[in-house]
Amino acid sequence: MNLKSHLIFTLYTIYGILLKGISGQYPLVQNVTVTEGGTANLTCRVEYNDNTSLQWSNPAQQTLFFGDKKALRDNRIELVRASWSELTISISDVTLSDEGMYTCSLFTMPVRTAKAYLTVLGVPEKPEIDGLTKPALEGDHVTLTCITQGSKPAADLRWFRNEKEVKGAKEVNASGKTFTVRSSLQLLVDRNDDGVAYTCRVDHVALTQTPQQATEVLEVHYAPRVEIIHSLGVPQEGQYLKLECVSKGNPSPDPVMWTKDGSDLPDLERMIVEGRELTFTSLNKTDNGTYRCEASNHLGTSSAEYVLYVYDAPTTLPPSTTPSLHPIPPDPTALLGTHVSDRTVSGNRDPNALGQHSTDHALIGGVVAVVVFVTLCLIIVLGRYLARHKGTYLTNEAKGADDAPDADTAIINAEGNHAHAEEKKEYFI
C-alpha cells in the first residue's frame, strides 16, 4: 500500500514538472505606441526555453531578426538584446507605414507565436489661420479658418479670444492614414475687437509638451466717438478751467477742433488750445457759451458740446466784533464752488441754481405772514358778531308780573292775559 502511494506521488510530480515546462515555453510580448519619427523597441521574452531560437517578423511576414542574425536589410532596424530568453530589436525613424502587427515566434514543436501591435501617431502640423483681412471695418462679418494636417488620430482644434475660449465649427477629412482638421469662427467685428488676439490651438496625444498654435491680432478701423471732460463742477470768475476732448477712433482722429457758439474761439490769449485740451487761465462772464469739440477720420465725424456758465466769485464778510444771536448760514455759492461734479460729456446747468435757495426762503416767509394775518382778522370779526347777538327777553305775562304791587295782583294780571295768549309777542333787549 505504501509502495503504491509513493508511486502515485512520483507520477504526479513528474507530470507537474513537464506541464510547467511546456506552459513556460510561450513567447510574451506587449503592444507599442510611438510618435512618427521616434524609435520603437519590440521585446519578446520566454520564461523557460530549452535553447530554442526566437524570431521577429514585420506585418508583411518578413523576418527581421532570427536570434541575433539580421535577416532584413533595413538600416533603421537594429538588435538590442539577444539571448535564449529574450529577443529585443529597435526601429528608428518610425513612419506611418511601419504601423501594424509584428510577430514573435518560438521555434518549438509546434511553433508558438505572440503578436504585438505597433501604433504610430501622426504629429499634426503647425496650424494656419486664414480669412483675416487687415484692417477690418467695424460691422464687417469675418470668418477665421484654422487648418492643421497630418494628424493621426484626428487632432482637436480650440479657439481663444485673448485668454477666453470660444467655440468654433470643426470639420475632419481623412487623407490616407492621416487627417486634415478645419475649424471656423464667425465674427461680427466691432471696435472692441481692435487689438484682440485670436489663437487657434491644436490638442493631440502626440504633442506631449507644448501644443501647436497660431495667433492673429485683429486690427479694426472705426469712426471716432467724442466726449468732453471738465475740471470744475461749478466754474466761478477768476478760476482756472480745463476742458479735455477725449476722442476714440481708428485711425486716431488728430487733431481735434474747438469752437464757441459755432464760431472760432474769440480770446486766444486766455483760451489756450494744446492738443486735445482747451484751457481758461482766468474765467470771466464773457466766457459764457456753448463750446464744441469735433474729431473726424476717413470713416466719420463725431462731436460733443459743453455749456459753460461762469458764476460770481464768492464774497467773504469781515468778522463781527459782537456775537450774533442768529448764526449766519454759509454762502451756498461758496459751498457749491468746492463741489466736484461727475465728469460728463456736456455741462448743461441752470444758471439760476445758486440763487434758488434765498428766493424760496423769502417766498415761504411771505406766505406764512399772510396766513397769520388772515387768521387774526377772522378771529376779530367772529368775536364782534357774537357780542352783538347776546342778551335776555321777557314775555307779556312776565312783564305784567313785574308791574303788579303784590303777588295776588300779579297772578290776576297773568290769568287775564291768558285770553290773549295767541297775541303773545317777544321783545328783545
3 state SS of 332: helix
Question: Of 77-86, 166-175, 226-235, 395-404, where does mean pLDDT reach its minimum?
Answer: 395-404
> Long-range CB contacts (< 8 A, 24+ apart) of 400-405?
none
| Domain 125-218 class in CATH | mainly beta
Contact status, residue 227 vs residue 174, Cβ threshold 8 Å: no
Instruction: Give the model's confidence band at 424: pLDDT under 50 very low, under 70 low, under 90 confident, else very high.
Output: very low
* Residue the block writes with cell 538590442: 80
Question: Of 144-148, 193-197, 370-374, where does mean pLDDT reach its minimum?
Answer: 370-374
> Do 27-121 and 223-308 share a fold?
yes
Q: What is the largest CA-CA distance in the chain?
A: 183
The one-letter amino acid code at 322 reads: T
Residue-averaged pLDDT of the chain: 79
- Is domain 223-308 given the CATH code 2.60.40.10 in the classification? yes
- Average pLDDT (296-309) is 92
Instruction: Give the model's confidence band at 152: pLDDT under 50 very low, under 70 low, under 90 confident, else very high.
Output: very high
Can you tell me the distance from the alpha carbon of 94 to that of 32, in angstroms, rounded to the nearest whole number? 12
Instruction: Give the model's confidence band at 316: pLDDT under 50 very low, under 70 low, under 90 confident, else very high.
Output: low
Q: Where exactly are the structural domains of the chain?
A: 27-121, 125-218, 223-308
* Residue the block writes with cell 464774497: 315
* Predicted local confidence at residue 26, as pLDDT: 87
* Predicted local confidence at residue 333, as pLDDT: 36
**pLDDT by residue (tens digit) across 235-287?**
999 999 999 999 899 998 878 899 999 888 887 778 888 888 899 988 999 89
Can you tell me the distance from the alpha carbon of 90 to that of 99, in angstroms, rounded to the nearest whole number? 14
Residue closest to 233 by CA, chosen among 315, 330, 308: 308
User: The CATH number of 27-121 is which of 3.60.40.10, 2.60.120.560, 1.10.10.10, 2.60.40.10?
Assistant: 2.60.40.10
Residue closest to 273 by CA, chosen among 283, 259, 288, 253: 259
